[in-house]
Amino acid sequence: MDKIKVGVIGGAGYTGGELIRLLVFHPQIELVSIHSNSQKGKKIYEVHQDLIGDSDLVFTDEVNKNVDAVFLALPHGEAKGFLEKNEFLPSTVIIDLSTDFRDESENFVYGMPEINKSRIINAKKIANPGCFATGIQLALAPAIAHRIIEGPIHINGVTGSTGAGKKLSETTHFSERNQNVSVYKLFDHQHLKEIKKTFHELDMKFKNNLFFVPYRGNFSRGIWITAYGTLDRSIEEVKEKYQAFYADEPFTHVSDNEIMLKQAVNTNKCLISLQEKEGQLVIYAAIDNLLKGAAGQAVQNMNLAFGLDEKTGLNLKSIAF
C-alpha cells in the first residue's frame, strides 16, 4: 500500500519530539511536514538531537494541508483555534493530543483503544486521552465495568517531570524536582472529567467517589498509579475478569508478579498488577507518560484509523537498567 502522508503540528516539545521519533521509523508512514513557529528553519535534529542521522526534515511555520493524517501536539487550549483557522481535507485523520476535544465535541472520538476501539477504527477526528487519565482508566476499567469495587475509590498517581511539558516552570527546575516529592491539584485534577465520563459509559450506574492525589515525582518519565477500594469478591475472580477484559489488547498486560515503572518506560505498554489486602482491592499500573500516555497512544490510534495492525511502529523495548 502507498505510505500514509503525515504532518505534525507543534513538533518542538516533548510530545512532538516523541511523535517524530515514532513516525520517522514507522514502516507505513511518510513524514512530510513538521510545524513549529518557534523553531522554523531549523533541522529536526538540531532541536531533537538524538535524531541526528535519522532525518533531515526542517521545521516549518507553514501548514501542509495535503496530508492523510495530522497530529496536533499543541499546548492545551490552542488546538480548537488552530482548526478554526486551518481546514484540512475531509479525508484527513486529525489526532489531537490536547484537552480541547476530550469531551467528544465537534465529532471527535475519545481515543482510548482498549475501551473505544470500534469507534476509533471509523473515526476521522480522534481526541487522545490525557496521561494520568490513561493510566487510571486502564487500571480501573475492568473493576468499573464489572462493579468490583464498592464505595469510594482512592487513587495515588506519581508522574515524571516531562509530564509538565518542555517549557520551564518553577516546579520543573532540577533543584525543585530532584530529591523531592510534592502534591498538586488535590482531588481536582483536570483529567478526572474524562475519567468519570468513561466510567459512566462503562457502567451507567457508576457513582463511586474518586479521590485522586497527583504527585510530582523526582524522575523524568513514567506514571505510577496505585488505586484501591473495598472488594466484594475473591481476588481470583477479579484477576480472571481483568485478564478477560484485556485478552485481545496488545499493549495492556495484567501481571501475576509485582511490576516496576521501568518495565513500562520507553514502551507503549500499560502494566497492571492486582492484590487483595484487608478487604481492599489494590491495583498498580505503570505507563510511560510520553508514549502510552501521549505520542505512542496517538500512533496506535492512527494505526487503527488506517486499518493497520495497531502495534505497527510501536514495538519498543523498556529500559530495564
270 is catalytic: no
Question: Roughly how many angstroms between the first and final C-alpha of the chain, as a whole number?
Answer: 39
The C-alpha atoms of residue 157 and residue 132 are separated, in whole angstroms, by: 7
State the amino acid at position 139 in one-letter form.
Answer: A
Specify the 3-state DSSP secondary structure of 99: coil
Pick the catalytic residue: 22, 34, 72, 131? 131
Short-list 239, 243, 282, 284, CA closest to 261: 284
The C-alpha atoms of residue 20 and residue 9 are separated, in whole angstroms, by: 11
Work out the number of other CB atoms within 10 angstroms of the CB of residue 263. 18
| Residue indicated by cell numbers 486521552 | 129
The C-alpha atoms of residue 251 and residue 267 are separated, in whole angstroms, by: 9
Please name every residue paired with 230 in a beta bridge, in sequence order, or none if there are none: 150, 280
Q: Contact, 60 vs 7, CB < 8 A?
A: no
Calculate the CA 52 to chain-centre distance: 26
The C-alpha atoms of residue 140 and residue 155 are separated, in whole angstroms, by: 10
Q: What residues contact 310, with CB distance under 8 A and at least 6 apart?
A: 113, 250, 251, 300, 303, 304
65: left (phi over 0), alpha (psi -120 to 50) or beta: alpha
Q: What residues contact 288, with CB distance under 8 A and at least 6 apart?
A: 221, 222, 223, 264, 265, 266, 267, 268, 269, 296
Active site residues: 131
